Amino acid sequence: MGLPSHRKRASPGRDGPAMSLTILLVLVVIFSFGFGHLLTRYVSRYIALSGAEYLLVGVLIGPQVPPRLMTAESLTRLEPFIALLLGLVGFVVALHTRDVFRNVRNGLAGLMSAILVLVTVAGAMLFLADRLLPPTPEALTFHWEVVRTSQHALVFRLTTSHVWMALALGAAACVASPFVIESAAKMLKAQGPVTDLLRGAATLSQVLAVVVVGVAVATARSADTATGVGLSVGMALATAAVVGVVCGLLFTLFIGQEKDAVRIFLATAGAVIFASGVGTALGLSPLFVNLVAGVTVALTSRHAQRLRDELDRLQHPLFVLVMIFAGALWSPVSGWVWLFPITYFVVRYVARRAFTRASVRILAPTQVLSTRIGKGLLAQGTMAVAVGVDFSQRFPHYASAVLTTVLIGTLVSDLWSARALRAVLLDAGESSDEAIPASTRRAPSP
């Protein structure tokens, strides 16, 4: 007689769905990399896609639409993978920061315009949130009496949860996509001060967005016992910065004189995974932690340029994956909450055009001045969506409103941002004649 078997019988409620989730995740990743490669090689040089098609894929496989291939429980189990995606986005952005201060005045103009857009949109979102959305149960509310008469009083009210939400939406709004600008510049063979200013302004806008979201998340979570560590605001930010710096330095030390591209890539993945995991465990933003790690690598590693070139190939797959998971995480809003995406788009469009032109006029060289330069920074791309996903993962109370606002605002902006960007570059006269169709070339000045 054989010995009795002590193997546990497979639970139909566990192993089956887990295997299905694994297969689905593998298929989504394969689709993202395969389709992203096709876009990079054949399509991106001719047209700019809005990302609506990937968002639709995410909605169709998410919990909102039958057969619900990804349930809410499945998405919860995939949070570490989503954090890894966000970390990669932050790391890739950080590797480009080294070049943006070659022209300090251009960099300051781009940073100033991004700050003004962020503050303006955040103010509009805070006004709406105070009137349309209830605060979270743990939120603090402050009242300031501005004016009082014998019968009336003007009181300014501020709720902390509304402030964090407004800052996240403002951070998403200030983002411009350097990838879209680079694609348009390659397509038109554009070179010159306007092209350089747009590149630098877009990169700095992404850095600003990540920093603001990182500070907001750290501040909001600093006293939250759910993180397992009672950290003050300063300690939370210091922890995020230290983790990022340590990961970046470990990467530099581990790679050393290594020349093998595969090992460099694997070391990068390890650093991003570790930084994302620690940041998530402490309730911090993986975007912010990996931004610090990426900046450290950019400043200390001799492989920074090579690594940047390698990771730039992941731009399209990352974009596809982030959009798919954003669609899967999205849930519809109702009623007056639809005012958020409408207000977000309108205020951002006006603020981006006005403040970019004003900042360039004040800070940038005179040869960069263009009446339409703000239109060159309308495209948002992956980072704006990543900011929305990052905030929603940590503040599920506002996930529906934030994702609806960011996704609709990003998609609508990206519909005509590529055409507006091309118009800016053509108007600046920085496009090569060979790249411009004969029907659109301007006649030479007499």
Q: Strands 153-159 and 141-148: what pairing? A: antiparallel
Q: How many residues does the chain have?
A: 446
Q: What is the pLDDT of residues 391-435, one digit of tens each?
A: 998 888 899 999 999 999 998 888 888 888 888 888 878 776 545
What's the domain count of the chain? Answer: 1
Residue 435, in any domain of the structure: no
Residue 11, in any domain of the structure: no
Residue 34 belongs to domain spanning: 28-430
Residue 436, in any domain of the structure: no
In order, the DSSP letters of 178-206 are: HHHHHHHHHHHT--SHHHHHHHHHHHHHH
pLDDT of the residue at 377: 92
pLDDT of the residue at 182: 86
In order, the DSSP letters of 122-172 are: HHHHHHHHHHHSPPPTT--EEEEEEEE-SS-EEEEEEEHHHHHHHHHHHHH
Residue 1, in any domain of the structure: no
pLDDT of the residue at 251: 84
Residue spans of the chain under pLDDT 70: 1-19, 32-52, 101, 222-231, 256-258, 365-369, 432-446
pLDDT of the residue at 123: 95
**What's the CATH code of the domain at 256?**
1.20.1530.20
Residue 321, in any domain of the structure: yes
Q: At what angle do helices 79-94 and 304-312 cross, to 10 degrees?
A: 130
pLDDT of the residue at 212: 94
Residue 242, in any domain of the structure: yes
Q: What is the pLDDT of residues 328-353, one digit of tens each?
A: 899 989 899 999 999 999 999 999 99
pLDDT of the residue at 17: 47
